């Protein structure tokens, strides 16, 4: 998947990503990284760091939870026209935050994880 991401970001060959496909492929790759365990631990670490940075940026005035961060990430992914590379990076960072957010976000990652387990084995 990493090779597909690199080729899709470059867009020189037959694999070319637009805004939406970059986010979706990044999200699928992020979920595969998370399922891989130690190999994909960096995505979880980066997501945790992003979450902490947002929470610390708010200061003492309020608390921002994982659900709010997941909503912000969704707004960024689908509300803006990100270029391919930022779209892929945001997609890779999303699954761990969606899992931490719980609720509907966790359902998405759980269904994707089940589907990928069936396909990949």
pLDDT digits (tens, 9 = 90+) for 85-96: 999 989 988 888
Band of the pLDDT at 24, cuts 50, 70, 90?
very high
- Given this model, what pLDDT does residue 25 score? 92
Residue 95 belongs to what domain range? Answer: 2-120
- Given this model, what pLDDT does residue 34 score? 82
CA neighbor of 109 nearest in space, from 98, 121, 117, 101: 98
CA neighbor of 96 nearest in space, from 84, 78, 108, 82: 108
- Given this model, what pLDDT does residue 93 score? 86
Contacts made by residues 105-109, CB under 8 angstroms, sequence distance 24+: 105/67, 105/70, 109/31, 109/34
The count of domains in the chain is 1
Span 100-110, pLDDT tens digits: 888 888 898 89
């Amino acid at each position: 998947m990493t090779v597909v991401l690199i080729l899709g970001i470059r867009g020189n060959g037959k694999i070319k990503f637009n805004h939406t496909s970059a986010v979706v492929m990044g999200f699928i790759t992020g979920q595969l990284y998370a399922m891989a365990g130690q190999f994909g631990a960096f995505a979880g670490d980066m997501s945790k760091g992003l979450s902490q940075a947002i929470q610390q940026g708010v200061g003492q005035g309020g608390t921002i939870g994982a659900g709010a961060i997941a909503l912000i990430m969704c707004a960024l992914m689908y509300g803006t026209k990100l270029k391919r590379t930022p779209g892929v990076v945001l997609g890779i960072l999303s699954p761990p935050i969606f899992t931490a957010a719980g609720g509907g976000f966790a359902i998405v990652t759980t269904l994707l994880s089940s589907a990928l387990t069936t396909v990949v084995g």
